[in-house]
Structure 1
Amino acid sequence: MALTLRDLLSLDTLREARPEVLAGEASLDRVVRWVHSSEIYEIGPLLTGGELLLTTGLGLAGADAGTRRHYMREIAGRGVAGVALELGRTFPEMPRELVQEARRQDLPFVALHAVVPFIRITEQANTLIVDAASRRLRLGDSATRALNDALIAGAGVAGVLATGAQVIGTPLMLVSASGALVAAHGVAGDREAWRAVEDAACEAPVALHGQPWGRLVAGPGSALPAEDLATALERTAVALVLAMLRTGSPPSERDRQASALLRDLIEGTAEADSGVRAMMAGFHPAPDHVLVGVAADSLETAAAPAVIDRAAHILHTPALRGRVSRLVLGALSVPRAVTDAVGAVSQALDEALRRLSAPQLQVAVGHPAADLAELGPSLRDARAALGLRPAARLVTTRALALDLELTRHGDAGHAADLVRRTISPLVDWDEAHRTRLVGTLEVFLLHGCSATRAAAVLHLGRQTFYQRLQRIEALLGYTVTDPDVHAALLLATAAHRVADR
């Protein structure tokens, strides 16, 4: 465990010196990186931060009050953990200007009223500091070995997460940047996982392809000190990224062609030869077919292409798919005779997700496009839809039309004013009581103001739901089923949710 100034003041050698804290009492939990003694006045430039400086004040002998204040300011500016001045040799009592300047700089300043050789203090303190650093290195090496063994054994994300949780001794949750709970270990279910996230002891960022992807969260209860916990969690996050990037085989030339074409389509830079490039990628849709764009955010690299391929098999039509940055993009072909192309693609993808058991994958379905030239907007909308409903593994852009419009065109200030004017009593109540009245109202409105359907979606008993509804109407001061307020409430609740995302 990292040693703080408070810890060091309780050591036997420092207690023998009868320490008295004269300034910076609120900063005694600063971590001490090293204990150093010096009597020179120009010690400031030689300090690098985190030191506890021991001195008898010899370098200040004969200096005036202004010079002594400058000495304290310079040391404080170097970021030291604190200063301890031994009384008796140079100063029989503490100079007032040193105490005043230390208080002004919020610098822990300690008077040592008894003489203890500084070598005894530094020897005991620095030995403990080195031992703690060595133990952290040993823990990091131990965690790395365990995680490497899991990766070598072929463990996926779930296996690496389980290994990390065993090393750390607490539940681990993997949360995407959009706020979705992607995976967890050591909890009974999603509800318990979110409670652990709220009470997190530590978290580490997770990045894929050089871009922020999410965060790895350690729940409460670990016996590891804070720095050791952070070290082990960081090593686990690195191993998770390796597991997520594992593909099993390098991409084929056809895969590379598909990825390049999809990248140009979504960026709007595809040229007139898109049809030829699609053929080179193995995509041959019939002339009487429409194309539906698909975007997938996959934890396991191989999962998303497998789901898109299975959906194409279910539809008995060809598919185009490839990785573009951290996402997998694709297009599924549907006969024009199918009235609801989006519905057909959604059903096929939903069945593929169930058959392949891919719970750590979110798929978004765009709108129909007549041909490759019109596929770009469908892909862009599908990509934008990912993360707008993090709890859903399959979403469509038509179901998220309002969310997408708010995201694409919404002004943050205007949206905030809309929320404030329309549902601020609910927002304030949720923040004060940690409830979900705004989310409850949105679900109620989205399901046609049906209490039965809304209660089922929220997994609430009817009586509990009616109690929430009564609270909502009491806070707003009107009936939310009034058709005149339906559009405004739905817009405000969506704006609030999109802003939170």
Structure 2
Amino acid sequence: MLLTVADVLATPVVQAGHPEVISAANLDRAVRWVHVSDLAEIADVLVGAELILTTGQALAAPAPDRIRYLRSLADAGVAGLIVELGSYVRELGPAVADTARALGLPVIALHRVTRFVEITEAVHREIVADQYAELEFARTVHETFTELSVRRAALTEIVRTAASMLDASVVLEDLAHRVLAATARHISSSALLDNWESVSRLLPEGDDVVAVGPHTQRWGRLILRSERVHIPRARMVLERAAQTLTLHRMIDKDRFGLHRRAQTGLIADLVDGRVADERDAQARAAALGLTRRARYVPLAVAIEADVDPDPVAAQRHSTAVVEAVTHGLGLVNASALSSAEHRADTARIDQRGAALGSGERVAIVLALTRDRDVDDQLDSVCAAVLTEVRRVDGVRRAVVGVGIDSESLLDTARQLGAAADIAAVARSLRADHERKFFRSADIHLRGLVSLIRDEPGVQSFAETELSALLRYDIRHAADLTGTLRRFLDLAGNKTELAKTLAISRPTLYDRLARIERILAVDLDDGESRTSLHTALLIRELSGADKT
């Protein structure tokens, strides 16, 4: 950053000359160079922003010539004038002071003889060092954003990097003035983003606002929110960041849309604890369009769909699912944030090892009106969302899990995991197209088992309960395990079980007796039935039971 006239005035070498400020106008002017001259016509060889050092020969002339001299310096755009008194003039007088102030020209008088070479050396050393620093800064900016472009960094990282380089708040918004990414510095996120749309619309175009996107297809603005940043540096960083953002979108083709991507990023920040202040959370959410002062409800839409081995096709399908969810929310004018996740790890496999279906999940933070019944509003929203999702090609089943609602956005975000667990369990239940959504109370024991099914102790319990029967079935090519499962599903109704299996009652009794002998249990005992049913659920939910 260039020295100002005030900076030069504060240097020890100038202070040694006992300076007196004759005209304090524009002491904050930048000094590009220092020039020593007593010529009255020096303005003819100046280009601007020079600090003139003189012994005052031109100011010893008659008053009209002195005024003409000062006016020529002001017209040439000099940074200021330093006059050493004694050689030609002992004082500058009121005429010089009044004229300089009227012209906005800083003038300083030195009352002691000063070696001008020491002033020029000191100032030029700082100027050269500053120019080197600017070159280094430009190189750092270029290398940093080039690296971000090469590895296709996320929008949030690009904005965060720009804010870090400038040590100031930076906001990326779309053309509707919705915040896509923001990093707050020296201010809270809530203060930065409060009432953002109105604030943004009133911002004047300037060096701290840079358009983002190709010239003919602008899609956003990058905005610096600080008044203490060096403007040339700020402009350099913002423009380079805007280029990186533009390239990022051109390469990525914006599969999920910038606004949805921003919602996904915010939900991830809330869930992972990167946003810890409720006001900041609500400010960022409001900047993305989520209603304030609402009842927030965590939802998870669990979707079972046909597997496509082509990753591009799978990505298109995920996009279609998200668009369906968004469209469903829009149909009922619901205010929400959503985030999609393709979950290939939940694919079910048949006995031949073939994929039966993959799981996709969409997390939703829904803002509901406080003065209306939550379940009534959920019925409307979930019905619309499920209707649209089920229309997507390849979708076999979709269910909605609902966590605990709250007036706190942070608490609601923490419940998204629980909503996802509920939805995953609900998806494994028998299809019930009448039910719009599931809460934890709706999934009973299956829900508890789903949450703990991967624990080693739980798996060990299931093996202990069933291993003898499973080994028997393998050795004798039987299916007593299937008989046991149907017996427990029918709550021990033997008459109905015989009809279901299409066997005689004596044959059924024989099978049940064999099961009791093999497992050393009494199937009329309630606790034994509960233990065996739980063990079978563990196997089913762990994917071990594929029959």
TM-score class, shorter-chain normalisation, is: 0.3 to 0.5
Normalised TM-score (structure 2): 0.44
Normalised TM-score (structure 1): 0.47
The structure number with the bigger radius of gyration is 2
